[in-house]
Amino acid sequence: MPAEDPFRLDGRVAAVIGSASGIGEAVAEACARQGAHVACLDVDSARASVVAERIARSGGSAEAAALDVRDGAAVQRALDELAARRGRLDVAVSTPSINVRKPILGYSEEEFERVLTVNLRGNFNVLRAAGRIMTARGRGSIVLFSSIRSVVVEPGQGVYAATKAGIVQLVRTAAAEFGPSGVRVNAVAPGVVDTPLTAPIKANPDWYAAYAARSILGRWAKPEEIAGPTVFLASDAASYVTGSVLFVDGGWTAVDGRFKPPGM
């Protein structure tokens, strides 16, 4: 057995963007448990501070600051300052996303721009900023968040799905461009997860039950169930994994139907 646990992040510095709630909050806590110093960055700085303080009370190392991923210069500045202050930036995870659930014919241009600006441009800003720092240093891991909607859709998910498919192609291209410098880039694609983003679905019992039944496991995911695979991609346990999309969807995308044929 190797002397070191490849799943550990001891001595690493991880920037988790979107860590004030939901999946980002769970990822920040999981990275800290694995030994990383975590920068909890979010447009909601007050809530990000609560998360960082909880990590510190649990014996971890964390800090918090406000960050709006829509502002490319601010993203670059925040990650540059973190790397300068801590002497390194090893991991960058970006989770922010919004969804306006409407049929395409009902979408306004403002709604279209709002979803694209956060989901695609915002994640591009993080990818570019972290990539600049990590390629110069010669190592690092970047994880962006896609979705099952990158490959399967339903009415009302068109623009959101387009951004999540776009993230996959950004990740693959960045993996090709950053790889020669020792930087890995991957995406996590969750299914339905109990977060603030999915609160409107949870509020509708029929909708909630239909989504639960759609996965092989017959239930929604908890945010911490998405955090483990994310930490894996951030760690040396995934040292030969880059340009990949890790679906964490309870089998949603693996199964074509739900009818069980007689005798099966």
Q: Which residues are designated catalytic? A: 160
Sheet holding 13-17, edge to edge: 61-66, 37-42, 13-17, 91-94, 140-145, 183-190, 245-248
Helix, strand, or coil (residue 25) = helix
Q: Which two tokens stand for residue 242?
A: 């880059």
Q: Do 193 and 223 meet the contact criterion of CB atoms below 8 Å apart?
A: yes
Residue matched to tokens 């960082």: 52
Helix, strand, or coil (residue 33) = helix
Task: Report residue 249: phi and psi, to 5°.
Answer: -130, 15
Q: Which two tokens stand for residue 80?
A: 């540059």
